[in-house]
Amino acid sequence: MTNAVIVDAVRLASGKGKMGGALSGTHPVELLATVLRSIVSRNNLDPAQVDDVIGGCVAQVGEQSLNISRTALLSAGFPDSVPATTIDRQCGSSQQAAHFAAQGIIAGAYDIVIACGVESMSRIPMGTATLGKDTAGPGIAARYPEGLVNQGISAELIAAKWKLDRDTLDAYSAQSHQRAAAAIAAGAFDNEIVPIDVTNAAGETVTHLVDETVRAATTAEGLAGLKSSFHTDGYAARFPEAGWHITPGNSSPLTDGASAVLIMSEEAANKLGLTPRARFHSFSVAGDDPVFMLTAPIPATHKVLARAGLSIEDIDAYEVNEAFAPVPLAWAHEFNADPAKLNPRGGAIALGHALGSSGTRLLTTLVNHLEATGGRYGLQTMCEGAGMANATIIERI
């Protein structure tokens, strides 16, 4: 079987996903173009050799519409001959892009692919793409007569089911910031973050290189003072079990970002004199209850471990996206996972969750962590809207 290998992986430092954030003054096409340009430049790769660019983006509307992956590669200076497509599997969009890229290589359809993702949540706010319309239709209304819920409510339901109290959620969230801050201080992200020139609030051109969403001084005690984000009288009546523990402090922040992974057949990498850093070992995708919505990483992980013939004890690091603190905590409980291996450089609560970019961002961080620690296997999984999840196992080479 053809091995699909990761030759390089890069990302932008996060920007706060609101106007005034570090990346908010930059068009999302340029965010993605920057990482595409960087990943070929870092590897002295002729972009004409790229068979396809597969990108993830959730809010494909406005400045992010009309196949932003193709627009970005043209902006990055790639030849007209390089095609691209943009996909949406909600928060896992760019993780799915990496799956499609690697699976295409394994199948023999590609030799070289870039999987990538982008989201500008400052310029394209959440909900913009719906245009205020009903996106469900009558069939969903009949199947779920009480109505589906937003992800914050789903996080509350998970916290209640797994008996995760407010102190536990806040302590975990503070740890995410502390781990990310320690990684920044140690230079752990230096090999994955590529520079982008932006205009700051003073109108000056500066180079953005440090994750803006990380708050090094965060403590559980400080987070304890924040109010519940999703409580309403209606939801409280419908879900009396909810403790209303979800706050801005134990949720991922709105974020701008872009990331990219250079994926090749092992043969293509060898011909080009490039050294593979990891190979794709196993893949899965799963669905789960769309009301609980954020629990699908659990069945996706069961599937990918079974396909890999591995146990959770064989995995050296796990990146489980921190959309909300209950998600990785419930996952860890189900697998009796080692907390030291869970998001060891901090997760999305600290590093941000730029929806369409997060899948390849997690993969980028995972590859670098395995290299730094000498780990062999890494597992990545993330919850996705409507109750889905991807899971990926990579093996460091």
Q: Which residues are catalytic?
A: 91, 353, 383
> How many degrees, rounded to 5, is the angle at CA 256 between CA 127 and CA 44?
130
Contacts of 307 (CB under 8 A, 6+ apart): 282, 283, 284
Which sign does the torsion angle of CA 89, 90, 94, 96 carry? Answer: negative
388 within 8 A of 285, measured Cβ to Cβ: yes
Distances in Å between the Cα of 75 and the Cα atoms of 80, 193, 202, 227 are 11, 20, 27, 43
21 within 8 A of 81, measured Cβ to Cβ: no
3 state DSSP class of 17: coil
Q: Give the integer Cα–Cα distance in Å for 158 and 328.
A: 10
Q: β-strand 52-56 against 112-120: which pairing, if any?
A: parallel
